[in-house]
Amino acid sequence: MTDVEQKESGDVRYNEYVERLRHEEYPMLEGSIYLDHAGTTPYPKSLMDLFAKDMTANLFGNPHSASSSSQLSTSRIEDTRLRVLQWFKADPAEFDLIFVANATAGIKLVVEALRAVPGGFDYVYHQASHTSLVGVRQEARSSTCFDEPDIKDLFEKPRTADHTLIAYPAQSNMDGRRLPLSWSHQFRQSWPTSRGNVYTILDAAALAATSPLDLSDSTVAPDFTVISFYKIFGFPDLGGLIVRRQAEPVFDARRYFGGGTVDMVVCRKEQWHVPKRQFLHERLEDGTLPVHSIVALDLAMNVHRSLFGSMDRVAAHTYYLVERLDRGLRHLRHGNGTRVCTIYSPDRTGHDGSPGAGPVVAFNLRNQYGAWVSLAEFEKLATLKNFHVRTGGVCNPGGIASALDLEPWEMKQNFSSGFRCGTDNDIMAGKPTGIVRASLGAMSTVADVDQFIAFVDEFYREAAPAPILQQPVRHAPATSTDLYVERIIVYPIKSCGGYRIPAGTEWEVRPEGLAWDREWCLLHRGSGQALSQKRHPKMALLRPDLDFERGELRVSFAGVLPPDTAKEISVPLSNNPAMFEHSNRHRPLPSRVCGDEIFAQTYTCDAVNDFFSGVLGVPCVLARFPPGGQGPSMRHSKAHLQKHQMLHKPLNVSLPGSYPAPPSPPDSDTENPQRRILLSNESPILAINLSSLAALNKEIVAKGGQEVPPAVFRANVVVGSKSSASEWAAPYAEDNWSTLRIGQQNFKMLGSCRRCHMVSIDQDTAEKSEEPFVTLSKTRRFDGKVFFGSHMGHAPSSSGGRETQYPTIKVGDMVQPDAGEDEA
Ligand SMILES: *Cc1c(COP(=O)(O)O)cnc(C)c1O
């Protein structure tokens, strides 16, 4: 069977054809499973090759002049404009196409015109609208958000303007739900003349990516249609606004003109100009067109046709795949029979007479007791396994609120309790605040779908009831254990390498943590965000050395140094104000560490900042956050006991299937609500237990993996046990410790440490791997979150001895859990 035949044959054959295509055309996808076509779609190699060839063979000048290069641009642009209209079966006599940066820019162009019409406009938008449509309401006299059942009411609402714009997506970017294309016509037909003019805008950005869009009947077509070409072809980054010529007069009110959209302008003594008149696109395409992108779009249409055949074929293929994905996810059940996935995408068959849904599955995961799995946690694991999916609010506020049944007050409350787009805080008051979105495209295959289902099955389906957590072993206050401090490490610069405290050195313990731990950080020059190893693994290779003889922090880089880069830099340990940016010259920029806004002192020395920027390849500055600050120069611990640790505490006992309310908000360490920290993520001190690590390594090795060293957990205090057979060496005993005595000092345990895939960065080489995060996700996941290690803070005693004035710990100190003394 030839490719051409296969391309036109049934689902299975076509899929085989696409599988083959994948290797030749999408080398960048090697090793990845791409399920974010609703975000953007990958571009084929042959498009890139053709584009390079076209660019090197031809010179494209700025249009509108007589040179041959300019003429070439003009003719290619006009040809492409026509071909795009033909792609959507839009007759150029009835429609015009305006090239814009993206679908959003197309929407804004319509708004720019309507806000200038005398008396303004009323706005009506469907609740499944993308954020870019929702924002239009800010320009309107009044706005209404509707869903199908409300349609009749729209005709009765009091109007405030002579013009009304009605907006809706052809397909929701959130769950793939489709809305009837016939609405545009219906609205125009049934709009009472007493209500003034009505215009419709169809957001086809999501629909057009995998389906044909047919505008051949201009009497029923929307007045305005917006498209994102990159969602169809992957390249170029370009959008389109298709205007039905009958609606053109709306743009007469547009006031702005720019280069390209005007025939003559008089400036000095008179303010006079003549806008271009002939074609709408000439009046709206301000400035130089993205000539090269438009040329690429021409090629993209050719390549797409030759690789995938018609859009009908793409629609059939993606429909076949999404059915399989939807069915596969729906069928996953926990051992106790409950569903793993809660799916929000509607019935896509259209059997109920609705237009069905596109190749998108929106869902959330639940554990066997019905508790939601954190999206951030899901995303970490999916990323590690090379799945590309989107999670969160996906720019569709109305769709999300309706799917998740979130009331406006709940969303506002979530906002005030710290929820923001794109943060880790995604289960609030027992409800998810976003979704997982898996979306398919022309080059998706059955293998992508099956691998994704297998991944959810492997990591989120609980075949057996959850393992019973170890019952806490309550020791009588002990005088001697065989637990000891195996090593102590501080991380002077947040997210960079550690400094191991030499044996025999007594190290100071402060309320904020161990002395010199996380007192510095690197801030992105542009955003002020503290850099993290999660995004910049090379930070692990920045090796700090605390030299108390010379009074400096020296930092070297254990990777390949870029040319002309110093081998190491140093800054004084003393806090010399001359080193820092002065607040009277510039207001210090607020920076962000783990979501907290802080004021850190930034170093001005170029040699220092260039060193860090050079080795990491990120524009950054060194900053210091010394102890003792006030206001935004101070941070507080966020650690708290986790649910899996509270099983032995009197809990408001919950029924099976229900979960207790989420733990009281962070900072709920009742004994010391204002426990200060420097730049560590959550708490003053992080401890790990080598017995737990040994247990984890056993699991990793059993699955054929390599043992991981303690360093990946970036703990401050590593607790060892002299004999692995001793009663003290039980793995994860630390979950149940409430206090710890180390040498002469007491510590209060503040809860388990939540982990992300940063633990999979080798601290010696900065290389990423799957372990230990993958095994941790399987063996140490509670309530959708992954834990390893314990937070703790110093609990000063009042005995009055030297150890209270200058508390220290050292390597080799005996460690006693729950010794009883000073326990609150
Ligand atoms: C992607 C998308 C948009 C936004 O498109 P841009 O090209 O980013 O402006 C708007 N609406 C829908 C339905 C989309 O899928």
Region 660-685: mean pLDDT is 59
Local confidence band at 657 (pLDDT 50, 70, 90 cut-offs): very low
Ligand 1 and 689: CB distance under 6 A: no
Which residue minimizes the CA distance to atom 5 of ligand 1?
103
- 816 CA to centre of own chain: 42
Q: Specify the range with the lowest mean pLDDT, choosing from 342-356, 404-418, 561-575, 580-594.
A: 580-594
Centre a 10 Å sphere on the Cβ of residue 666 and count the other Cβ atoms it contains: 16
Pocket test for ligand 1, best of 132, 136, 390, 440 (most atoms within 8 A of CB): 132
Residues 102 and 225 in one domain: yes
> Percent of the chain at pLDDT above 70?
89
Domain presence at residue 560: yes
**Active-site residue 341, yes or no?**
no
Does residue 657 sit in the same domain as residue 608? no
CB 656 within 8 A of CB 369: yes
Same domain (yes/no): 90, 237:
yes
Say if 250 falls within a structural domain: yes
Residues 607 and 733 in one domain: no
Domain shared by 401 and 537, yes or no: no
Domain presence at residue 38? no
Domain identity same for 299 and 344: no
**SS3 sequence, 467-536?**
CCCCCCCCCCCCCCCCEEEEEEEECCECCCCCEECCCCCCEEEECCEECCCCCEEEEECCCCEECCCCCC
432, 460, 488 - which closes a domain: 460
Which atom of ligand 1 has the smallest separation from the CA of 38? 15
Mean pLDDT of the chain: 87
- Whether residue 555 is contained in a domain is answered as yes
State the pLDDT at residue 823: 38
Helical (H) or strand (E) element with 387: strand 387-388
Calculate what percentage of the chain has a pLDDT beyond 90.
Answer: 61
Residues 297 and 332 in one domain: no
Among residues 439, 460, 481, which one ends one of the domains?
460
pLDDT band at 466 (very low <50, low <70, confident <90, very high): low
Q: What is the 3-state secondary structure (H, E, C) of 119-183?
A: CCEEEEEECCCCHHHHHHHHHCCEEEEECHHHHHHHCCCCCCCCEEEEEEECECCCCCEECCCCH
Predicted pLDDT of residue 192: 87
Structure tokens at 461: 């389906």
Q: pLDDT tens digits for 540-564?
A: 999 999 988 888 899 999 999 988 8
CA 47, 49, 51, 54 dihedral sign is: negative
Are 608 and 683 in a shared domain?
no
Q: Does 1 fall in a domain?
A: no
**How distant, in Å, are the alpha carbons of 128, 174, 498, 518, 808 from that of 316?**
24, 20, 55, 55, 69
Going by alpha carbons, the residue nearest to atom 2 of ligand 1 is 205
Answer whether residue 710 is part of any domain.
Answer: yes
In angstroms, the CA 413 to CA 429 distance is: 10
Global confidence as pTM: 0.75
Query: Is the Cβ atom of 40 under 6 angstroms away from ligand 1?
Result: no
Q: Is the pLDDT of residue 664 over 80?
A: no
For 602, the domain range is 520-624
**623 pLDDT higher than 70:** yes
Which of the residue ranges 2-11, 42-51, 361-370 would you say has the lowest mean pLDDT? 2-11
Q: What pLDDT was estimated at residue 4? A: 73
User: What DSSP state is assigned to residue 357?
Assistant: B
Dihedral in degrees, nearest 10, Cα atoms 69, 75, 80, 86: -170
Residues 613 and 722 in one domain: no
Q: What mean pLDDT is predicted for residues 69-87?
A: 95
Examine residue 32 and state whether it is found in any structural domain, yes or no. no
User: For 352-368, what is the mean pLDDT?
Assistant: 91
**Ligand 1 centroid from CA 149, angstroms:** 25
| Confidence at residue 158, expressed as pLDDT on a 0 to 100 scale | 85
Strand order in the sheet with 513-514: 513-514, 507-510, 808-809
Residue 284 inside a domain? The answer is: no
Q: How many domains does the chain have?
A: 4
CATH assignment of the domain containing 143: 3.40.640.10
Pocket test for ligand 1, best of 40, 100, 104, 172 (most atoms within 8 A of CB): 104
Same domain, 601 and 653: no
Same domain, 67 and 149: yes
Spatial CA neighbour of 35 closest among 327, 434, 359, 347: 359
Position 299 pLDDT exceeds 70: yes
Torsion of CA 288, 291, 293, 296, to 10 degrees: 170
Q: Judge if the beta carbon of residue 240 lies within 6 A of ligand 1.
A: no
Would you call 201 helix, strand, or coil by DSSP?
A: strand
Q: Give the domain-ending residue among 419, 434, 460.
A: 460
Dig out the tokens for 157 from the structure: 């609402």
Specify whether 603 is located in the same domain as 650: no
CB-based contact 329:347 (threshold 8 Å): no
Q: What is the mean pLDDT of residues 609-633?
A: 86
**Catalytic-labelled residue, pool 341, 395, 496, 521:** 395
Given a cut of 50, is residue 242 above it in pLDDT? yes
Whether 395 shows a pLDDT value over 60: the answer reads yes
Measured distance CA(407)–CA(386) in Å, rounded: 34
Report the CATH number at residue 434: 3.90.1150.10
